[in-house]
Amino acid sequence: MPARLLSLLFLGTAALLLGAGGARAQMAADTSITAPPVAPPLKTNSPLYHLTYDPKLDIPQVGYREGDTSGAVFFIAHRAIDTDGGQGFGWLRKSSDDRDDGTWFALQEHPGLAVAPFRKLKTRDGDADWEYKFWGHYATYKAYDPHLDELLPVFVLQGYEVIGQTAPLRQPIGPPGRPHSRPSGASSRSSNPIQGGGGID
Amino acid sequence: MRLLSLLLSLILFGSLAARADTGEHVVLTGGPALRFMEHGKDASHDFYWFNFVDASTIWLKQIKSTAPAGDLVTWLVYRPSYISRSNEMGMDLVSQIAGKAKELGVTLYWFDTKEQLINYLNKGQDRDKIKITSFDYFGHSNKACFLFDYSNTIDTMSIAFLHVVDLKHIKAHDFARDAVCKSWGCHSGELYSKWWKDEFDVAMIGAIGKTDFSHGGLPALSDANCRWSQ
């Protein structure tokens, strides 16, 4: 067999075996940077407009109500800040439950109807250990907290009323089974390793 | 010499046979956060609503120009986040995405749940004949998870995601043995790539560190300490 034919055969085979990977390397070189467009102006009276321009408070206003607070059944929410970096809202319990029987939960807001009380404050943690009456329901799905690789039950907020500030609860912060005194991990903004498997199903 | 010739012919025939069936190139795109959720944060995400879409379309265009004739090019997009961002902005982003897919000549499938996504990957094509030959993900992620929904339904959290523990529901049979896979999201190379390789016996390139979509093109590694890995 002529050497040239052999070479061609070999080169052809190599090209086929490399396949998409070779083309891929060429494609990856093109980064095609473009400038993103400017966002359209905010709609007046939209939730984002109010969030941006309404004056902010230092602490919640006792007795303030927002959204649909007409139902006879409500929950008690105790705001707590997760020092491990998680984004749970705090504890939630039925109004008939003991004070320390709450469930660590994620809050699903309803922009345009009722949003997290801290949206009215100068800082997101300005309502630590404040309590609220919450109207709404638990969702059928769970929320994934990427900061701690945890799943939390979700409460869909329909309305709330500010009760007032209370003493901190004795419960450990976070969902059941969280290993405590671990560093935050798994975040898209953190490079720490995942420290535990709490909440994954 | 005759033996060598026979050997090379066998290799060539085998290679041709392996590539004889149609391949499918899958681009998976997650959704943006709501600005309402991200307002006022130090690290505020997704000022640009189409950061993931633009990166996807740039990549799809390149796939279209380099893929073997007859290969399928499929774009899977998480719809709910674009609906809610549309409502927030007063723009129909969903129609715009459909228009981009039509312009590119790629097949667009929306998905609303993780289960729909998995179902497409496993059963959307006859996987005995049509293997996934390339797979790319554009969206939010951490090292353990693709976050299709992020800070859109719930502030800083996700209700639609593909965690590493969910990968077992996707069949290794879906992928060509030489499939080329990449996550363009943050931190995938730190854990997700390993699980991907373990589950499918196919490597997935992922970032060690963060990636930056904010410039509107293909994402770049955020800083000199970041790198791609698999």
Are A17 and B1 inside 8 Å of each other by CB? Answer: no
Q: pLDDT tens for residues B118-134?
A: 999 999 999 999 999 99
Of B12, B23, B155, the CB nearest to A87: B155
In a domain, A118, yes or no: yes
Structure tokens at B8: 């090379």
In a domain, A190, yes or no: no
> B209: which chain A residues are within 8 Å (Cβ-Cβ)?
191
> A43: which chain B residues are within 8 Å (Cβ-Cβ)?
90
Assigned fold of B31-229: Rossmann fold (3.40.50)
- What per-residue confidence (pLDDT) applies to A68? 97
In a domain, A135, yes or no: yes
Residue B15 pLDDT greater than 70, yes or no: no
Cα–Cα distance measured from residue A184 to residue A173, given in angstroms and rounded to the nearest whole number:
13
Distance from CA of A194 to the nearest CA of B (A): 8
Lowest mean pLDDT of A20-29, A80-89, B50-59, name the range: A20-29
Mutate to test the interface with A, among B149, B157, B166 (most CBs of A within 10 A): B157
Are A6 and B5 inside 8 Å of each other by CB? Answer: yes
Domain count for chain A: 1
Cα–Cα distance measured from residue B13 to residue A13, given in angstroms and rounded to the nearest whole number:
9
**pTM of the model as a whole:** 0.85
In the structure, what pLDDT confidence band is assigned to residue A4 with cuts at 50, 70 and 90?
Answer: low
In a domain, A18, yes or no: no
Are B159 and A188 inside 8 Å of each other by CB? Answer: no
Residue B10 pLDDT greater than 80, yes or no: no
Convert B64-97 to b/e letters by CB count within 10 Å (16 or more is b). eebbeeebbbbbbbbbbbbbbbbebbeeebeeeb
How confident is the model over A161-173, as a mean pLDDT? 94
Q: Which domain holds residue A128?
A: 56-165
- What per-residue confidence (pLDDT) applies to A160? 98
Q: pLDDT tens for residues A104-161?
A: 999 999 999 999 999 999 999 999 999 999 999 999 999 999 999 999 999 999 999 9
Q: Which of residues 96-135 of B touch A (CB under 8 A)?
A: 133-134
Residue B202 pLDDT greater than 60, yes or no: yes
In a domain, A130, yes or no: yes
